[in-house]
Structure 1
Amino acid sequence: MDTMLDVSWRKGDLDEAPSTPPATTAAGLLPPPPPSLLGPALWRTRRGRAVLWQVFGAVVLFVVLLVFTRIMYGNLVRQNLNLGLDFLNREAGIDIAESIIPYAPEDSLGWMILVGAANTLRVAIIACILSTVIGVVVGVMRVSENPLLKLVTGAYVNLARNTPQLLQILFWYTLLLQLPVVRNALSLGDTIFLSQRGLQVPALEFSGDGTGLAAAGAAATALFLILAPLWRTVFGRSPHLVTRLVLALIAFIAVAIAAGAFSLSPPVRGTFNFTGGMTLTPEFVALTVAQSLYAGAFIAELVRGGIEGVHQGQREAAGSLGLSNLQMLRLVVVPQALLAIVPSVTTQYISVIKNSSLAIAIGFPDFFWALSTTINFSGHSIEGVAIMVGGYLLPTLLAATLMNRFNKKLVERGQR
């Protein structure tokens, strides 16, 4: 008995013994203390070696950056250049044929870069929308039982996916330059013209004193506010926020046009050029069409794969409920397929933004062209490349964030 008590405490200390014996392992021994990160045995533990490797990597990275900084500083001193963004205030002195914001050659280089960024965003947004529409339509046709549709859409997808995008841009640009001259331009009801000058469409111009805009804004706001309770009364559920915004925008445009806040200015064909309307240059049309068809082919395959990934039992269950093929696709197949489609579509949207830099091959004044011209003009290549990296990183991260949030909502809705 005395021997047993000596394991945890002495026999003479029974009055001062703890109420419960100390914690022990299954073998009856106390657990070993965690290994210390200090001392000569640091490298003998896995945790210690991991810390040593991280410290070594940080030191190597610091040395590389230090050497790179010294080399860069030496080159700048030899070329009598200083780091800074003051060069953006210099006069550009370069004309830009196409811009959605006001620009003149007397403006600064910084403003010219902003004009190029606006052109890039315009191409990217339109191409993303068009490629989504093309991808959804072609993807649904790819799973059709009509052999002709499957053959045609399959040929388009294989052709678009397996040829370089730059080649497609050059093809459409060359094709547009072979169109008739202005006086022989192809027309649709003398309202829309297609020629070597590009695509001429009616332009929406502001007119009036602002009263029509105020009325349109009030109508759109009222519709946005009353649409939710009205929708619940009619359909028994709340409308989606996007639905409310789209309907409010349609109401704004309709009321503004009816009130005379906007007027349509159709293009008028002359001998050598058009007057009025809005001109979409061959460079813009070629780039947008090529980007849309190229990304649309990839999205079509994603849509096809997502639809075919839905279990056949889901379709059979929907058919047993008496749903038509369209209802089955809209209510059963597409909501489940979106979970597999959306993450990969995000990659395609990011690719559209980045691949817009190929516009420099046909002379379209985009963000990449503006910065390349600025670097050649000012010699500030380091700052120019840094702005270029940030300029492409910002919209791609924004697109990825928005699509990830949309995908998260789809997942949460599917788990309910």
Structure 2
Amino acid sequence: MSSYDVGIVGAGVHGLSAAYHLARRGVSTVVFERGRRAGGPTGHASGVVRSYYTNRFLAEVARDSTALLADFDAHVGGESGYIRTGGLYLHGADDAADVRATAAGLAAAGISHRVLTPADLAARFANLNLDGTAIGVWEEQAGYADPHRTALGYAARAVELGATLLEHAPVRELSEGRHAVRVLLGDGTRHEAGRLLVAAGPWTGPLLTQVGVALPLTAERHVVAGLVHPPQDVPRPIPHVLIDIQHGYYSRPAGAGRFLLGPLAPTTATDPDDFSAEVTSAESAWLATRAARRAPVRGGAVADRSWASLYDVSPDWQPVTGQVSERVYVDAGTSGHGFKLAPVWGDHVARLLIGDADARLGQFSPGRFAAGAGLPGGFGAARILG
């Protein structure tokens, strides 16, 4: 039986970031992954990078994660694929007070941004239809990166630093003892860890029930629709991240006249082991129609490679991170905005596991739901904005 200081279930970007930050501190760490590294939701994320959060702590984590992604090779090794485009956030009048409060938090955190009036927007973004838009925010460092490449970078560096990564190693059984958590894998091998982190995305809830812990986490199917401009429109694409709260979608460039679209609103719960990864023509058309309403140049774009993946969702759409029993911890419920937080969130999780947690992490405790203390965040139905 192999023994480690820390075991991590899940080799998505959150589990791998935590493994890296533990390994660089000399903590004996093993990662158990049911498939291949970054083979789940991480490898199918759209990769938007932004610090536009209503929660001040999340904004600061995203700010620092963006800086790390921008210089990933120097910090970790490999390439994150980060491209800075800037990000534009568009709101109706009902959001105006919350937008100004959010902008004040960004300013206090040193996040480069500008609040834009309708006149400012019209002068700067003549290619957009701004009917009904009351206020906007431009974030200078927003952009996108490659979640799959980022996760692989963390995996490679963690292993170089001494971590063990076991792929195609589904967890069959977890049991918590006085001195360790025992992990039985699908191939019959057994392992022990002094502390166990469950960071298995949509599969986190069922795994935790094996150690007597029930958390209100659900899985939702969300689509990413790819569209491509016809040749005559390729020189005129929207060159930046656009989060259109009014019309309920986000978009980002994807190179060569291509762009990605995704919805901002919640969907219904789904079975993470039985969902369609195909995007229907109706789903693509719903997003394309809204994108063209905002940016007429997108009206001629046609469907390109698209996919559906999973969000692991908490009741308040904020991360669920903390201790759930004597030796078991959780990092889940990132609700579709986990990638952009992962580089620095993994460091906070590592500190939690070695008993040096930042007190501000406590607001994301798994116990908040039983206490009726869910966190506010987002704008209306767009809870994903945090």
TM, length-normalised to structure 1: 0.21
TM, length-normalised to structure 2: 0.22
Larger Cα-atom Rg: 1
Structure number with higher strand proportion: 2
Higher relative CO (Cα under 8 Å, sequence separation at least 6) belongs to: 2
Structure number with higher helix proportion: 1
